[in-house]
Amino acid sequence: MKKSIILILAILCCVGSTVAANKKTVRQKNPFMSEYKTKYKIPPFATIGYQHYLPAVEAGIAQQNEEIQAIIDNPQAPDFENTVLALDNSGATLNRVSYVFYALSESDNTPQMQELAEKISPMLTAQNDDIYMNDALFSRIKAVYDKADELKLTDVQKRLTEKYYKRFVRNGALLSPEMKDSLKAINTRQAAIELSFANNVMHEMSANAIFVSDPAQLSGLPQQTIDDAAAEAVKRGQPGKWAFTPRGATRLDVLTNADNRELRRQMYETYMNTASRGDQYDNSANINALIQLRKKKAQILGFETFADYAIDPVMAKTVENAENLLYQIFNPAVEKVKEEVADMQAYADAHGGDFKIAPWDYYYYAQKVKNERYNFSADEVRPYFELNSVVKNGIFYLAKRLYGLNFTEMPDAPKYNPEVTVYDVTDAQGKHVAVFMTDYMPRETKAQGAWMSEMSSEYNYKGVSERPIIYNVASLTPATPTTPSLLTLDEVETVFHEFGHALHGMLTRAPFRSLAGTNVDRDMVELPSQINEHWAYEPEILKNYARHYKTGEVIPQALVDKILESGKFNKGFVMTELVGAALLDIEWHKLNWCENIDIKGFERYVARRIGLPAEIQFRYRSPYFKHIFDNDQYSCGYYTYLWAQVLEADAFERFREEGALNTAVADDYRKYILEAGDTEDAMKLFVRFRGHEPNADALLRNLGLK
């Protein structure tokens, strides 16, 4: 639309005098542009709008660039504080907006957030590249790294310096300008593809559903699952029917309980074909592109494969070490599967099942055999696992019992969603430790799975102390009009698991942000979460939270015995699924050829190569394997869950030997694992707590595989 020349000139005359005022106004109105004034500096979510993210990211990048230039231009010789620490503390505005942006991209991923992500993700990737390929900045980091002894750095200062030096090198600091440009292009393209991959999975999980019109097909399903499906059908415009989505709790309820074999098959195949149906949300092209880009990236940085690049800096060190550990678990697990399948086939044959056990039968018949063998049904214990009690009388009681922590709800605290609950965490002396947020209910805009992250990190150096803001997110069984949220055993374990991560984040005492909390080696990060699952079934803890939601009755000892007796049941299947997925991940990233790969064909090849039983498919098929394809955090790193299981099983044996609720042992665990962060080599910290390096024997005993 045209404007008259006179009007434009008149406007331009006013611009010069108002630019400064406008910048100030924008800064004042954008919540990200200054330090939060809320209690404990919780993000003021009510005042944050979609319009604030992009300007804050742009301003945050500009601010960080100025801070980095100041580091480079500093006339003083490089030292720890004017170079390494200054870099670690740079980008306050960018950090504020990034924390909230990433949190809501996963937990409230509305179309507006998806649109923002398409703009912001490439900007953040480019900023990361600009920092870690900055020759002048790297020169100062290297100067401190080379003269660490001469500068008399403390051990923890050396640790942070070394971490940055290696991070620069792994991000291309030693490359030629031409190769740096190539790496930047790869990173930018990779970020866009990873975002597309994640969006495709989220769309498929939200859009796909199986509709049932015949009530006879509902046989065996819990009434709560049926009621949820009826409500889902109404939401999807088909009242009078039942709609079952492939999301976690619903999918497992159908596969475990539905007597109708066809319904189980439909559910299984709907889930297994997520993002691989050949339509616009098919992730096959994204996977091919990512594998090619990652291979090129690894080779540019001097590694033969991306697997070599990914595993080099963590505890395992080599692909061979990671695979050796995985096969120590996989081979006994596969042998156990043969027994489990034989038991299920015998049960099916005895009850009129004229068919061979297929993958969609596994959960159903495993549950039948378990019920018969132990006279136990998961639905029998579900009324004792009310979510509020699992949280307040379970994980919070455990935290108080072992670490002296108290959790006080903050009803007036800012929340990014009304379903979020915020707690002030204090120690035994009443001193503030952290803010903890929980977000447990499913939403269409929430990503699949469960996770922990932070809204701000910990810092404790030279009298300046900032405590973290930590959150847990999951999609657990929701309440119904007649019952509260009643959890499955798996969901109870999920709550304890993610709370283990939260404790790692909340209790950290590392002095510097990049060494604090969960900023540890990938194959160490799952230790605190997985070890925490053990306490879910510790008798004192279990009886404190497992109370009938109607009567308040403590779970009967007979049921507790059944839970414990059946705890090792079906572990062959569980571990074969897990290790199979980890081996698939490694096989993808060991590839030296990677053009136009048939995804299903490659998966069949890997399944044959490793000896995956026919009755089991990979826990995550590649097109929805978000751990490894929607970011680089767990790329060629899914094995770390198994590595960490070896660590936690060995570590928990010390609690078994000296007392599961022994506060002296808990003090050591807190000191060497939860508080230490990445202040020291992960293996050294483990040995300080346990007294020896870990091996797989304890895990195999726990699982009944040895």
pTM (2 d.p.): 0.83
Same domain, 161 and 216: no
Same domain, 232 and 152: no
Whole-number percent of the chain with pLDDT over 70:
96
DSSP string, 130-157: HHHT-HHHHHHHHHHHHTTTTTT--HHH
Tens of pLDDT along 126-156? 999 999 999 999 999 999 999 999 999 999 9
Tens of pLDDT along 642-701? 999 999 999 999 999 999 999 999 999 999 999 999 999 999 999 999 999 988 889 999
Residue 26 — pLDDT band, cuts 50, 70, 90? very low
Does any domain span residue 56? yes
Same domain, 12 and 145: yes
Looking at residue 249, what is its pLDDT?
Answer: 80
Closest C-alpha to 652, from 530, 560, 562, 561: 530
Does any domain span residue 572? no
Looking at residue 523, what is its pLDDT?
Answer: 82
Tens of pLDDT along 366-403? 999 998 998 887 788 999 999 999 999 999 999 999 99
Which active-site residues does the annotation give? 498
Nearby residues of 248 by Cβ (< 8 Å), 6 or more positions away = 448, 449, 475
Looking at residue 1, what is its pLDDT?
Answer: 40
From residue 387, give the alpha-carbon distance in Å to each of 153, 383, 422, 465, 483. Answer: 48, 10, 16, 34, 11
- DSSP annotation of 60: H
Looking at residue 659, what is its pLDDT?
Answer: 97
How many domains, the chain?
2
Helix residue spans in 208-318 (DSSP H):
223-235, 248-257, 261-272, 284-300, 306-311
Nearby residues of 514 by Cβ (< 8 Å), 6 or more positions away = 88, 160, 163, 164, 678
Tens of pLDDT along 319-353? 999 999 999 999 999 999 999 999 999 999 999 98
Does any domain span residue 59? yes
Provide the token pair at 176.
Answer: 């030629």
Does any domain span residue 187? no
Does any domain span residue 14? yes
Helix-strand-coil split of the chain, %, nearest 5:
60, 5, 30
Does any domain span residue 496? no
| Helix count and strand count (H, E) for the chain | 30, 9
Rounded Cα distance between 108 and 110, Å, is 6
Rounded Cα distance between 148 and 155, Å, is 10
- CATH number of 74's domain: 1.10.1370.40
Same domain, 139 and 249: no
Task: Identify the domain containing residue 233 by its residue range.
Answer: 208-272
Residue 17 — pLDDT band, cuts 50, 70, 90? very low
Q: Using DSSP, state whether 644 is helix, strand or coil.
A: helix
Same domain, 145 and 99: yes
Judged by average pLDDT, the poorest of 126-130, 234-238, 567-571 is 567-571
Taking 50 as the threshold, does the pLDDT of residue 15 lie above it? Answer: no
Same domain, 134 and 261: no
Rounded Cα distance between 374 and 562, Å, is 6
Mean of pLDDT values over 282-300: 95
Looking at residue 594, what is its pLDDT?
Answer: 65
DSSP string, 342-404: HHHHHHHHHTT--S---GGGHHHHHHHHHHHHHS--HHHHGGG-BHHHIIIIIIHHHHHHHH-
Instruction: Name residue, tokens 């009886």.
Output: 543
Taking 90 as the threshold, does the pLDDT of residue 279 lie above it? Answer: no
Looking at residue 20, what is its pLDDT?
Answer: 39
From residue 162, give the alpha-carbon distance in Å to each of 142, 143, 156, 332, 459. Answer: 9, 11, 10, 39, 19
Same domain, 72 and 26: yes
Taking 70 as the threshold, does the pLDDT of residue 317 lie above it? Answer: yes
From residue 119, give the alpha-carbon distance in Å to each of 195, 246, 603. Answer: 11, 30, 33
Does any domain span residue 340? no
Rounded Cα distance between 255 and 367, Å, is 10
Domain boundary among 130, 150, 174: 174
Cβ atoms of 491 and 548 closer than 8 Å = no
From residue 36, give the alpha-carbon distance in Å to each of 30, 41, 426. Answer: 11, 5, 21
Cβ atoms of 295 and 591 closer than 8 Å = yes
Burial of 191 (C-beta count, 10 Å sphere; 0-12/13-18/19+): buried
Looking at residue 16, what is its pLDDT?
Answer: 39
Does any domain span residue 279? no
Q: Are strands 242-244 and 210-212 parallel, antiparallel or unpaired?
A: antiparallel
Domain boundary among 218, 250, 272: 272
Same domain, 12 and 103: yes
Same domain, 168 and 215: no
Same domain, 154 and 231: no
Same domain, 245 and 112: no
Domain boundary among 254, 272, 290: 272
Same domain, 146 and 213: no
Taking 50 as the threshold, does the pLDDT of residue 22 lie above it? Answer: no
